[in-house]
Amino acid sequence: MKPVAFDYERPHTIEGAVGILSGNSDAKILAGGQTLGPMLNLRLVQPTLIVDVTRIPDLTRIEEEEDAVTLGACITHAAIEDSRFADPSNGFLAEVARGIAYRAVRTRGTIGGSLAHADPAADWLSCLLAVGAEVLLTGPRGKRRVALKEFVRGALDTELAPDEVLDGVRIPRFSRKARAGFAKICRKSGEFADAIGAVVHDSDRGVLQLVAGATRGQPILINGEAEGLGASFPPPLEPVREKLKQSGLVGDAYELNIHMAAIKRAIANAQA
C-alpha cells in the first residue's frame, strides 16, 4: 500500500517546527520514520502534513552536565550503539541499542521518535524508565521537563501535545559501581518483544528500579524503595511477581511467566 497525498515541511529550528505544528492540527512529525513510514503506507495514519525534524541541528545535540547527559531527540539508535558520544550509563545504553530491531532500522530510527510513539514493546521506553530519564518538550507555551514515567500515560499515549516537539532526553549519569541489565523475550531477533525486563541498581545514588515492558499498557515501573524491595541486589522476586499480577497489564499465566523470565534475565545480565 502507498500513503495518501500529504504536504511536507522541513523546518531548521525547533521553534520553526512548533510554529508549523501550531498552525496545523492534522500534522505528523517525521523523525526516523521507522514506525511512521509503515503506518503511512498502510494508511493507518493519513495526515495532511508531514513535518520532517531531522534537519534541525538542535535535535542532534549532546549536552553534558555533571549529573546528566541530554541527547537530542534525533540521535539514532545506531549512534548510541556505536557510542558516538560520552556515555552516561557505563555502556548500558549501547547494549540496549544493539538489540533494537535490525541495523538498518537503527541507522534511521531515533530515540526521541521511539519515546514519542510510546509503543509498550519498544526498547527505549522500558530501558529509560528504569534509568529514570526525563524528556524535554518544547511548545508554543515554552519548554518543559517531564519525568518519563509521567510522560507515558498508556500504550501509544503520552503527555505530548499536538503542537509540541519532544526535543531531547535527559539521562542521569550512573555512578561507577552502577549496574544495569536488559532482556527481552521475542519470537525472533529484531521483532517486537513479548516481554521486556530492565533493571538499574546504583547504590551510590540510592537507585533500584525494575521495569516490565511489552505489557498490555504502559511498562510497569517498580521502584525498589517505594515497593520495599530492600537495598540488596539481586532484589527478591516474589514481590515483583505480585506487583505484576496486581497491575492487570501482563495478561494470563503464560505472559506472567515470560515477564518474570525477562526480569530474571535482566538481573542476570546486570550481574554478568
Partner 1 sequence: MTGQGIGASLIRKEDDRFMRGRGGFVGDLRPAGMLEVAFLRSSFAHARLKRITIPPFIRSRVFIAEDLAGVAPIRADTALAGFKSSVQPILATGKVRHVGELIAMCVAPTRAEAEDLVALIDVEFEELPAVHDMLEGRKPGAPLVHEHWGDNLYLTTEIDANFEAVAAKAKTSVTRELRTARQVMSPIEGRGVIAEWNSRLGQLVVTSSTQQSHIVRAGLAECLGVDEGQVRVIAPDVGGGFGYKGILLPEEVALSWGTRKIGRPLRWLEDRRENLTAGADCREHHYVLTAYADDEGHLLALDCVASVDAGAYSAYPFSACLEAGQIGSILPGLYDFAHYRCRTYSIATNKPPILPYRGVARTGVCFALEVTLDALARELRQEPSDLRFKSLVRPEQMPFDNIAKRHFDSGDYPEALRRCLDAIDLKAVRERQRRGEPDGRLIGLGIAMYSEQAGHGTSVYAGWGIPFVPGFEQCHARFTPDGGLELRVGSHSHGQGHETTLSQVAHEILGVPHERIRLVHGDTAETPYSTGTWGSRCMIVAGGAVASACDQLAMRVKRIGASLLQAKAEDVRLESGDVVANSGRVSVAEIARTWYRRPQELPRDVDPAGLEVTAGYKAKRDTGTFSYAAHAAIVGVDLETGEVEIIDYVIVEDGGVLVNPMIVDGQIYGGAAQGIGTALYEEMQFDSRAQPLGSTLSDYLLPGFTEVPEIRVFHMETPSPYTRFGQKGIGEGGAIAPPAAITNAVNDALKDIGAELLDLPLTPRRIGEAVMRARPKKSAQ
Judged by the rule CB under 8 A, the positions of this chain that interact with partner 1 are: 1-5, 38, 42-43, 185, 187-192, 194, 253-254, 257-258, 260-261
Cα–Cα distance for residue pair 251/193, rounded to 1 Å: 15
3 state DSSP class of 11: coil
Q: Which lies closer to partner 1 via its Cβ, residue 62 or residue 185?
A: 185
Q: What is the DSSP letter of 218?
A: S
Q: Which lies closer to partner 1 via its Cβ, residue 68 or residue 101?
A: 101
Q: How far is the CB of 87 from partner 1 (least distance, A)?
A: 26
Q: How far is the CB of 135 from partner 1 (least distance, A)?
A: 26
Cβ neighbours of residue 38 under 8 Å, at least 6 residues apart? none
3 state DSSP class of 45: coil
| Cell of residue 177, nine digits | 559501581
Which residue is listed with cell 511477581? 241
Q: Which lies closer to partner 1 via its Cβ, residue 2 or residue 176?
A: 2
Q: Which lies closer to partner 1 via its Cβ, residue 86 or residue 253?
A: 253
Answer yes or no: are the C-beta atoms of 29 and 108 closer than 8 Å: no
Q: What is the DSSP letter of 32?
A: S
Answer yes or no: are the C-beta atoms of 54 and 167 closer than 8 Å: no
Q: How far is the CB of 184 from partner 1 (least distance, A)?
A: 11
Q: How far is the CB of 152 from partner 1 (least distance, A)?
A: 21
Answer yes or no: are the C-beta atoms of 207 and 132 closer than 8 Å: yes
Which residue is listed with cell 522541513? 10
Q: Which lies closer to partner 1 via its Cβ, residue 43 or residue 145?
A: 43
- Which residues is 29 bridged to in the sheet? 51
- The alpha carbon of residue 191 and the mean position of all alpha carbons in its chain are separated, in whole angstroms, by 16
Q: What is the DSSP letter of 149?
A: H
Q: Which lies closer to partner 1 via its Cβ, residue 189 or residue 272?
A: 189
Q: How far is the CB of 4 from partner 1 (least distance, A)?
A: 7
Q: Which lies closer to partner 1 via its Cβ, residue 85 or residue 192?
A: 192
Cα–Cα distance for residue pair 196/221, rounded to 1 Å: 12
Amino acid sitting at position 192: F
Q: Which lies closer to partner 1 via its Cβ, residue 156 or residue 161?
A: 156
Q: How far is the CB of 38 from partner 1 (least distance, A)?
A: 7
Q: How far is the CB of 254 from partner 1 (least distance, A)?
A: 5
Q: How far is the CB of 250 from partner 1 (least distance, A)?
A: 14
Cα–Cα distance for residue pair 87/251, rounded to 1 Å: 36
